[in-house]
Structure formats: structure tokens, C-alpha cells
Structure 1
Amino acid sequence: MAEQPSPDFRDLFHRGQLTIGISELSRMTGVSPRQLRYWQKKGYIIPKNEDEPGRARIYTMKMVIKAAAMSNLLQTGYTLKAAAAQVDERMRPAQTMYRVLFGRYQGFEVADDGQLLVDLGTFDPDPTQELFAKLVNDQPKFILKAKNQ
């Protein structure tokens, strides 16, 4: 049976718990808090706690990356709208990969040879099998194992 990921691991990466405030975001990106609030008003960045009016804005790492990338594009001549669209398009593959991996990740187990096997859950075409991944010479290899009932 695969070890369950620690709650800290899942909470940090899956639920957006790595956050910073608007002042830190401003310092990191060189964008004024006033400008960041404008970006939020336009819907280009969204604070994690947007549904809590009156509370200090906090941003996930995804929004930090987006704001920094938008700031860089603005400095090269993009308009705000074009910069936001370009960043969204560039982030799509990473977001898809994140959702696939964290949606499937069930934990890990250590094989008899000491190698880590990442448990990716039930193999959809055959629910009696579980899908695992491991690294062989730094390359991912996939393994199907009979599901333990």
C-alpha cells in the first residue's frame, strides 16, 4: 500500500497554502500595491481571499508568478491586456501538468530494490490495476500492479 502524502505536502502545493501579502508581492514584482489592486479589479490577478472583503489581500504562488511575468512583459512594451493573455497562455501547460499530477498522486512506496514508486492511483482503463511511476536513469517509467483489495 502506498504511503499517504503528509498533510503538509498536499496542503502546501495542492491547496495554495504558500501565500504572500500585497506588500510582498509589490516588492517582488516592482509593481505598486495600487497597480496590483487595479490588476485585480480588471480580473488579471485574483487574491486567494477575494471572497473575504475587508481582509488584507493574500496571493498564491500562481498569482505571484503571473504578476511577475506580466510585469516583465509590460516592461518590454506589451499592454496590460496583452501581457495578461500572454501569461495565461504560457502558464496553460504548467497548470495542466500540475492538475494531472496532483490529481493523480496518491502517495509513494519503496520497492524491494529501494527505488521510490510514485502511486498514481487506479489505472482508468482497468480498475483492477494501479499505475505507478519510477525513475530509471532519470527517465520516468510506468508500472501497472494488481490493485490490493
Structure 2
Amino acid sequence: MADGVKSDFRDMFHKGQLTIGISELSRMTGVSPRQLRYWQKKGYIIPKNEDEPGRARIYTMRMVLKAAAMSNLLQTGYTLKAAAAQVDERMKPAQTMYHVLFDRYQGYEVTDAGEILVDLGPFDPDPTQELYAQLVAEKPRFVLKGRV
């Protein structure tokens, strides 16, 4: 696989390149921009560019999901503080999966049969082997191949 495709894919997700502005976040969540700014002041949501005062706020997809989930919990009676804590707790497994997948992702290959093998890098117990994942009947299957 070409390195350009690999880096484009990783950059898009790993570095938070998918972003939206505060107006879009407000429309998506039903939370007013003023309320979102309050949530930011309290530290519950953090714009990607928080270290650039005076610039329009932009939010990563992670913050979009967090704000949407908090909004839903607020509508069911949670306090803002409790909603933020609950969402943070619920997001921990997803954050772990994100790091496991994106820290290991090396690219992908397409086999002669048209199957996609996701390269997860050297196999820890035996670094002479490369670990690949593929979907077989919509279930993950792992394959070890000698490194070239």
C-alpha cells in the first residue's frame, strides 16, 4: 500500500482533522452556542484550538460526540456535572479502542481475491511476524505473516 494513503487515513482520524465550528455543533446537538461556551469555560468540552484565543472555536468529532451525549443526558434529568462525568466514563472504552487501533495501524493490503488485510504491525511475541486483521463473514480474523 502506498504511504500516502496510509498517512492520509491516519492524519484524518488520529490528529483530529475532522472538525466543525461552534455553529455546526450547536445545530447538531440542539445546544446553544452560549451554552457550549459555558460548557467550555467549565472544562467539559474543549475546542481543538483552545490555545488560540480570538479564533473561532473548532471541535473534533470526539467533542461532538461528547456534547451530543451530554445534551441527551441533560434532557433525561442529569445535572451538567453528572452528565459530563457519565459521558467521560462511557467514552473510556472507545478511547482505548481508538488508541489500540490507530497506534497499531500500519496500512492495508488487498489480496488477489480482493480481500482487505489491515496491517497491525509487528506481532509483539514474535517481531519477525506481521499481524493482520481481516473480516471473514463479517467477523474479525487475525493472520500472521512473515515480515518482508
Shift in Å, 1:74? 0.5
Number of matched residues? 147
Aligned residue number for residue 67 of structure 1: 67
- The 3-state SS of whatever aligns with 2:131 is strand
Question: Aligned runs of 1:113-128 on 2, under 5 Å?
Answer: 113-128=113-128
Unmatched runs of 5 consecutive residues or more in structure 1: none
Moved over 4 A (4+): none
Aligned residue number for residue 145 of structure 1: 145
Q: Is 2:36 the counterpart of 1:39?
A: no
Distance 2:3 2:60 in 1: 24
Structure with the greater relative contact order (CA < 8 A, sep ≥ 6): 1 or 2? 1
- Residues 113, 4 of structure 1: CA spacing in aligned structure 2 closer, same or farther, 3 A cutoff? same
Shift in Å, 1:32? 1.3
Aligned residue number for residue 3 of structure 2: 4
Q: Give the partner amino acid of 1:91.
A: M
Aligned residue number for residue 136 of structure 2: 136
Q: Is 2:92 the counterpart of 1:92?
A: yes
Q: Give the partner amino acid of 1:51.
A: D
Shift in Å, 1:5? 5.8
Q: CA RMSD in A?
A: 1.3
Distance 1:100 1:136 in 2: 21
Identity %: 80
Aligned residue number for residue 27 of structure 2: 27
